[in-house]
Amino acid sequence: MTDVNDKNDIKAKQEIIKDLLKKKRAILLAHNYQRGEIQDIADFQGDSLELSIKANKTDADIIVFCGVRFMAESAAIMNPDKIVILPNENAGCPMVDMITAKDIINLKKDYPGAPVVAYVNTSAECKAVSDICCTSANAVKVVNSLPAGRVIMVPDKNLGSYVQRFTDKEIINWPGYCPPHGRTKPEDIKILKEKYPGAVFVAHPESIPETIDVADHVSSTSGMYKFVRESNAKYFIIGTEQGIMYKMRKENPGKVFISSNKGLICPNMKRTHLEDVINSLSNMKNIIRISEDIRIQARKSIENMLAL
């Protein structure tokens, strides 16, 4: 009985959001880790790279960004004439807070001439003092496109070590990391592979190097959708935030998806509820604001990435 009521409640809220989006000429973008009920009403769902490309192309007046703050900030950086809403203002990313613009300026002094590649998981201020952005989908390509022999990568040490496997350039790493992704250890994979013989382990580049070592496939979140769709395997151990399995299960009914670790949940990605979308959009709350000088400089780093 409660289940039916809950479902009706979700449906009703989704209908309210659809109406609001239409009335306000707004578009809803959702990251692949969002709650299922948010994914279901997204105009567009994707990984960080796809979302930044999409945000750059839309002709909607308002972008409702269901993800975390740095993603909504990137959309605002690229669209000064549009309103960008982050439905839950507390949806941040701990990795973003592991580095400041001042740290990057100091790194540049320590390694003169080395370009700075900022993972999109950085603040607008950090992007403003970096040379080019990257996402997990294009990090190797971005680093290899640079003419320098030594490259500074911030803030994710795990993404940096992953890229180091595919480049002759020397990567200078910053010690940031993603807490949820760091929880999957090679021991978890060993146990799960014994339990599910033939299972394929899919990892995200934010995983620790020891976990990457035992991965059968490594990619961004959208790369994972493609991989599991095309693979003939039945069992998949998914080494990224559990929200990704919602669409995987919907798209691949005959396949079984198992999380690599029970703790692989990003609390920030889960902060956004349907109510937050309704409240923020109907009251025009939680609008992302970035000072113009920071925005212009940060835009260059994102544009340099998109140009690739």
Query: By CB under 6 A, is residue 136 in contact with ligand 13P?
Result: yes
Q: What gap in Å lies between CA 4 and CA 143, rounded to an integer?
A: 50
Phi, psi (rounded to 5 degrees) for 151:
-130, 135
In terms of Cα–Cα distance, which of 75, 287, 94 is closest to 183?
Answer: 94
Task: Report the side by side order of strands in the sheet with 132-134.
Answer: 132-134, 116-119, 150-154, 170-173
Per-residue contact flags (x/-) with ligand 13P for residues 189 to 228, judged by CB under 6 A: -----------------x-------------xx-------
Give just the sign of the alpha carbon dihedral 247, 208, 155, 144: negative
Which of ligand 13P, ligand SF4, none does residue 221 bind (CB under 5 to 8 Å by kind)?
Answer: ligand 13P
Segment interacting with ligand SF4, rule: CB under 6 A, options 74-82, 172-180, 185-193, 248-256: 172-180
**Min dist. Cβ of residue 237 to ligand SF4 (A):** 17
Q: Are 35 and 243 in contact (CB under 8 A)?
A: yes
Query: By CB under 6 A, is residue 48 in contact with ligand 13P?
Result: yes
Q: What gap in Å lies between CA 132 and CA 299, rounded to an integer?
A: 9
Per-residue contact flags (x/-) with ligand SF4 for residues 247 to 276, judged by CB under 6 A: -------------------x-xx-------
Q: Which of 95, 114, 132, 302 binds ligand SF4 (CB under 6 A)?
A: 95
Packing angle of the helix pair 2-23, 274-283 (nearest 10 deg): 30
Which of ligand 13P, ligand SF4, none does residue 80 bind (CB under 5 to 8 Å by kind)?
Answer: none
Query: By CB under 6 A, is residue 182 in contact with ligand SF4?
Result: no
Query: By CB under 6 A, is residue 123 in contact with ligand 13P?
Result: no
| Greatest CA separation for the chain | 65
**Which two three-digit tokens encode residue 123?**
């603040």
Segment interacting with ligand SF4, rule: CB under 6 A, options 12-20, 93-101, 131-139, 225-233: 93-101
Q: Which is nearer to ligand SF4, 94 or 186 (CB)?
A: 94
Question: What b/e readout covers 5-18, taking b as 16+ CB neighbours within 10 angstroms?
Answer: eeeeebeebbebbe
Segment interacting with ligand 13P, rule: CB under 6 A, options 22-30, 34-42, 130-138, 282-290: 130-138
Query: By CB under 6 A, is residue 242 in contact with ligand 13P?
Result: no
Q: Which is nearer to ligand SF4, 21 or 48 (CB)?
A: 48
What residue has token string 């959702």?
30
* Angle in degrees, CA 295, 297, 298, rounded to 5: 65
Residues near ligand 13P, by CB under 6 A: 32, 47-49, 93, 121, 135-137, 178, 206, 220-221
Residues that bind ligand SF4 (CB under 6 A): 68, 93-95, 121, 178-181, 206, 241, 266, 268-269
